[in-house]
A and B are shown apart, each in its own frame.
Chain A
């Protein structure tokens, strides 16, 4: 466990290119907090849909998280099962390794998964369970990859957990398999989790220009395809804060060039597809990409016209994690929506630079969370809409601020060209709903004007 932590901190430094940059921000005591490293590791690995994910700890670590994310599967559903060793007092005192071993054996025997991921939790890390040894022994005995994920909650933020999951993939998965059938060399998508099926839209675009999607890391992934990810010719990093380190390490180990890109907004989508074709070094493919992107962008100009009319000049406050902080800005700009405030809590320094490239000078940066901080920006900047995640949604409702959910629980796919249309539709529906007028106007017997005129 120690070696992983050091690697992560020294070499990755929050995904920035410069090693001197700030380490992951430490959570502050006494504030409403985000997720932990255990949560982060799970988010990254759960979309490996055919694998079993076993949480070694008390029941609630799994109980609070099983099947509560929007990462969709096109087939297997084993990943959705909440497996846990459900440790109790006695296990804490006498150790839970026997229970863990039994649980692994049970899963292997009854569910026959291609692999089992075993997650440490605060408790098992503190009582000193040797996850690595139990997993190694079980893997040898069962002839099945049993992968320890040493990311207990207390080691740090959710984000660190994302990266520790990446470490587990590097150490135990990538490079361990060969495709059974010939797969043309292609692109890995890293840090794309198929929320609301977004990856499927992207895969469709890639397919239509002949780009092979080699391994999905990890949206709607199958275990096996990640084992041969090292055969790809290009890595595209979709969520850089989470898994940039994985791409860097793959470049060092396997000489696979990577680029950071996004599929939010037409221009970003076009850029990403072009970049893939360019790095694959295939002129004919580049021409196909040009034809597709030109056609799609022209179609969008037509189809977005009615929405743009309504959305032009609207102001938004964006409070989201990692890559979306800058990539959604591009999408919003294409719709005529101005971003007046943006969260940078979970952004790398590169992300912040990209934000700066995309917004005006007077955009407010919101460095850390707390509902009141976000609300303040909405009020100060007279924003029309708030775009954030689930835990802030109901605060927005209290404050009568139009809202759309952009994080992992959403049910709408916003990636690619189709996704931009969906985003336009959702924004319009959220802004134009008659309920805002009703909510903001006083009851007929109450003459007082609403305190905030939108």
Chain B
């Protein structure tokens, strides 16, 4: 356009004089306290005394860092072919989940609600569930519907099993369509608990319906295969990376839950509700696989119990494999489970990434970081930090349990770089703010939600985990495997180098770093 106009955006516009004046003008009649008082209060909120009071807080949660169970259940459902996630409860929850996941993945999120209202609260949600199943089959033509509950349905005690069987009796939904369900109230657990419950429910429902028996290591065309669980995985790139590793082994495998298709579909000009996912027919066959490898453990506890208990399979579970050591263990596990040798191209890749770590290590050594995230991600991040000489100082895990805390502490105790670390479970991001201010660090690593605390503490934030709303496409780059280690390294070291350039006063504005 030749006649392009200069239209300032809000960043520049609101710094112009009329707007600045306008804001100043407001203060005359609005402010409950003076600028001095505000400044004093802010300073106090950054004191050690305040930190102690903040940690003494019991009733109130400020800036929580966890999503709720049905959000995880929704993600588990989208890991299976032509499966419609159905959330039983009032409708707002579903709208939140769809927004949440869409903002992270930048993709549409198909999910429906039984839209319960006050009638449901009084008389129970059976009619809503039955009508909802009937309507959603008509509208979205799914091959499976995965029902999870919200707080509302849980508090009034809706009986999903009975309701679903009533729906079948009334002909609202045909017997052909499996309807796994999970009880997923938000007032216990978090998104990872919900992911686990739904995944287990889907596996067991499809297995029971098939009528076959589990015989590990046998069965037509399946005895040579490996089951792979990736868990509550916010990175579509991680699916691609584990695929690459398995392809290098040349082993057959079945993902138990693969939502990468739904959250990384091509723009073809025509939107479909369903993309990819584990084939429903593959689930019962998975009961005959060689074994199950899980890339998360805290977020698939019940599922792993089910697989080793009912399918009588060998299971190997590790936390998100970040860094060289964790990836080594991943590779060894695949080799052990399948009996296949370690592919030379992975060995070569390992060498290249180790080389990259050597190149960058002078900038990483002794850097102090704060970490926020889900338990499995944090275990991975701790290990990565320790192996490159980064010192984790503060770790906050809102949805961590004691088992996680003990594992994290043991991991940290085994390294001199973990000597100063404190691990906080059940705390929130307002606690993290106090930690960041009271005992400053060089970097914060965590989700976008950490940006407010990071800004208050004036520390750069490296976005890793879920959710990442304010940066584009990070989830498309793997963080697991050797390639993932390289990606994490690149992000961290370049953030540090960027900081050096920003802080340089001229004499140290170096060309080569």
Q: List 17 A-B contacts (CB under 8 A).
A: A31-B112, A32-B110, A32-B113, A63-B64, A64-B96, A83-B60, A84-B61, A85-B59, A112-B33, A112-B41, A181-B29, A204-B18, A225-B29, A371-B108, A375-B271, A428-B1, A451-B269
Pick out which of these stretches binds chain A: B87-95, B333-341, B375-383. B87-95
Minimum distance in angstroms from A167 CB to a CB of chain B: 16
Query: Is there contact, CB below 8 Å, between B269 and A87?
Result: no
A397-B152 CB under 8 A given contacts A29-B132, A64-B97:
no
The yes or no answer to B495 lying at the interface (CB within 8 A) is no
Cα of A224 to Cα of B29 in the assembled complex, Å: 9
A440-B117 CB under 8 A given contacts A30-B112, A204-B18:
no
Query: Is there contact, CB below 8 Å, between A29 and B115?
Result: yes
The yes or no answer to A255 lying at the interface (CB within 8 A) is no
Contact among A32, A399, A412 with B270 in the assembled complex (CB-CB below 8 Å): A399
A396 nearest in chain B by CB position? B271
Cα of A310 to Cα of B65 in the assembled complex, Å: 46
Bitwise, A60-83 to B at CB < 8 A (1) or not (0) is 111111111000101100001111
Would you list which residues of chain A between 286 and 311 have a CB under 8 Å from chain B?
303, 305-307, 310
The yes or no answer to B205 lying at the interface (CB within 8 A) is no
The yes or no answer to B9 lying at the interface (CB within 8 A) is yes
Q: Which residues of the other chain, A, contact B7 by a CB distance below 8 angstroms? A: 418, 421-422, 425
Cα of A60 to Cα of B135 in the assembled complex, Å: 27
Query: Is there contact, CB below 8 Å, between A123 and B155?
Result: yes
Would you list which residues of chain A between 186 and 212 have a CB under 8 Å from chain B?
196-197, 200, 203-204, 207
Minimum distance in angstroms from A209 CB to a CB of chain B: 14
Cα of A27 to Cα of B113 in the assembled complex, Å: 9
Minimum distance in angstroms from B265 CB to a CB of chain A: 7
Q: Which residues of the other chain, B, contact A123 by a CB distance below 8 angstroms? A: 151-152, 155, 186-187
Contact among B29, B62, B99, B139 with A83 in the assembled complex (CB-CB below 8 Å): B62
Contact among A34, A61, A103, A400 with B91 in the assembled complex (CB-CB below 8 Å): A34
Minimum distance in angstroms from A427 CB to a CB of chain B: 12
Would you list which residues of chain A between 328 and 381 have a CB under 8 Å from chain B?
370-372, 375
The yes or no answer to B114 lying at the interface (CB within 8 A) is yes
Pick out which of these stretches binds chain A: B20-28, B316-324, B477-485, B497-505. B20-28
The yes or no answer to A50 lying at the interface (CB within 8 A) is yes
**Interface residues in A, total, Cβ within 8 A:** 112
A112 nearest in chain B by CB position? B41
Minimum distance in angstroms from B21 CB to a CB of chain A: 9
Closest 10 CB pairs of A and B: A36-B92, A30-B135, A60-B68, A29-B132, A102-B59, A306-B3, A33-B91, A30-B132, A27-B115, A154-B90
Query: Is there contact, CB below 8 Å, between B269 and A399?
Result: yes
B86 nearest in chain A by CB position? A30
Q: Which residues of the other chain, A, contact B63 by a CB distance below 8 angstroms? A: 66, 81-82
Q: Which residues of the other chain, B, contact A394 by a CB distance below 8 angstroms? A: 102, 106-108
Would you list which residues of chain A between 136 and 184 have a CB under 8 Å from chain B?
152-158, 179-181, 183
The yes or no answer to B330 lying at the interface (CB within 8 A) is no
Query: Is there contact, CB below 8 Å, between B271 and A33?
Result: no
A126-B152 CB under 8 A given contacts A37-B92, A181-B28:
yes
The yes or no answer to B280 lying at the interface (CB within 8 A) is no
Would you list which residues of chain A between 400 and 449 have a CB under 8 Å from chain B?
400, 411-413, 418, 421-422, 425, 428, 432, 439-440
Cα of A206 to Cα of B355 in the assembled complex, Å: 63
Pick out which of these stretches binds chain B: A88-96, A234-242, A267-275. A88-96
Query: Is there contact, CB below 8 Å, between A126 and B121?
Result: yes
Contact among A68, A82, A413 with B10 in the assembled complex (CB-CB below 8 Å): A413
The yes or no answer to A263 lying at the interface (CB within 8 A) is no
The yes or no answer to A231 lying at the interface (CB within 8 A) is no
The yes or no answer to A398 lying at the interface (CB within 8 A) is yes
Bitwise, B4-19 to A at CB < 8 A (1) or not (0) is 1101011001100011
Query: Is there contact, CB below 8 Å, between B108 and A398?
Result: yes
The yes or no answer to B513 lying at the interface (CB within 8 A) is no
Query: Is there contact, CB below 8 Å, between A126 and B156?
Result: yes
Bitwise, A211-228 to B at CB < 8 A (1) or not (0) is 000000000001011000
Query: Is there contact, CB below 8 Å, between B267 and A86?
Result: no
The yes or no answer to A280 lying at the interface (CB within 8 A) is no
Q: Which residues of the other chain, A, contact B22 by a CB distance below 8 angstroms? A: 74, 200, 203-204, 207
The yes or no answer to B134 lying at the interface (CB within 8 A) is yes
The yes or no answer to A58 lying at the interface (CB within 8 A) is yes
Minimum distance in angstroms from B212 CB to a CB of chain A: 32
**Interface residues in B, total, Cβ within 8 A:** 97
A411 nearest in chain B by CB position? B10
Q: Which residues of the other chain, B, contact A121 by a CB distance below 8 angstroms? A: 151
The yes or no answer to B53 lying at the interface (CB within 8 A) is yes
Contact among B106, B131, B150, B268 with A30 in the assembled complex (CB-CB below 8 Å): B131
Contact among B61, B106, B111, B469 with A86 in the assembled complex (CB-CB below 8 Å): B61
The yes or no answer to B128 lying at the interface (CB within 8 A) is yes
Query: Is there contact, CB below 8 Å, between B5 and A303?
Result: yes
Query: Is there contact, CB below 8 Å, between B32 and A224?
Result: yes
A83-B61 CB under 8 A given contacts A29-B131, A39-B92, A64-B97:
yes
Query: Is there contact, CB below 8 Å, between B121 and A84?
Result: no
Contact among B30, B64, B267, B469 with A84 in the assembled complex (CB-CB below 8 Å): B64
Query: Is there contact, CB below 8 Å, between B95 and A398?
Result: no
Minimum distance in angstroms from B140 CB to a CB of chain A: 8
Minimum distance in angstroms from B476 CB to a CB of chain A: 14
The yes or no answer to A395 lying at the interface (CB within 8 A) is yes
Cα of A40 to Cα of B59 in the assembled complex, Å: 26
The yes or no answer to B57 lying at the interface (CB within 8 A) is yes
The yes or no answer to B2 lying at the interface (CB within 8 A) is yes
Minimum distance in angstroms from A248 CB to a CB of chain B: 24
The yes or no answer to A114 lying at the interface (CB within 8 A) is yes
Contact among B9, B58, B65, B89 with A122 in the assembled complex (CB-CB below 8 Å): B89
The yes or no answer to A265 lying at the interface (CB within 8 A) is no
A370 nearest in chain B by CB position? B139
Query: Is there contact, CB below 8 Å, between B155 and A92?
Result: yes
Query: Is there contact, CB below 8 Å, between A154 and B29?
Result: no
Cα of A63 to Cα of B64 in the assembled complex, Å: 6
Cα of A287 to Cα of B66 in the assembled complex, Å: 56
The yes or no answer to A127 lying at the interface (CB within 8 A) is yes
Query: Is there contact, CB below 8 Å, between B66 and A106?
Result: no
The yes or no answer to B129 lying at the interface (CB within 8 A) is yes
A180-B29 CB under 8 A given contacts A29-B129, A153-B90, A156-B117:
yes
Query: Is there contact, CB below 8 Å, between B14 and A197?
Result: yes
Residue of A63, A397, A422 with most chain B CB atoms under a 10 A cut-off = A63
A423 nearest in chain B by CB position? B7
Query: Is there contact, CB below 8 Å, between B91 and A64?
Result: no
Contact among A64, A89, A400, A421 with B188 in the assembled complex (CB-CB below 8 Å): A89
Query: Is there contact, CB below 8 Å, between A398 and B64?
Result: no
Q: Which residues of the other chain, B, contact A158 by a CB distance below 8 angstroms? A: 92, 95
The yes or no answer to A38 lying at the interface (CB within 8 A) is yes
Contact among A30, A225, A391 with B102 in the assembled complex (CB-CB below 8 Å): A391
Cα of A126 to Cα of B60 in the assembled complex, Å: 21
Cα of A303 to Cα of B6 in the assembled complex, Å: 10
A60 nearest in chain B by CB position? B68
Minimum distance in angstroms from A211 CB to a CB of chain B: 13
Bitwise, A10-50 to B at CB < 8 A (1) or not (0) is 00000000000000001111111111111100000000001
The yes or no answer to A59 lying at the interface (CB within 8 A) is yes
The yes or no answer to A312 lying at the interface (CB within 8 A) is no
A127 nearest in chain B by CB position? B155
Cα of A94 to Cα of B355 in the assembled complex, Å: 58
- Besides A92-B155, A413-B10, 9 more A-B contacts (Cβ < 8 Å) are A30-B86, A38-B92, A39-B95, A59-B64, A126-B156, A156-B118, A158-B95, A371-B108, A412-B10
Query: Is there contact, CB below 8 Å, between A154 and B121?
Result: yes
Query: Is there contact, CB below 8 Å, between B60 and A103?
Result: yes
Minimum distance in angstroms from A181 CB to a CB of chain B: 6
Cα of A225 to Cα of B26 in the assembled complex, Å: 10
Q: Which residues of the other chain, B, contact A224 by a CB distance below 8 angstroms? A: 29-30, 32
Minimum distance in angstroms from A144 CB to a CB of chain B: 11
Minimum distance in angstroms from B113 CB to a CB of chain A: 4
Query: Is there contact, CB below 8 Å, between B89 and A391?
Result: no
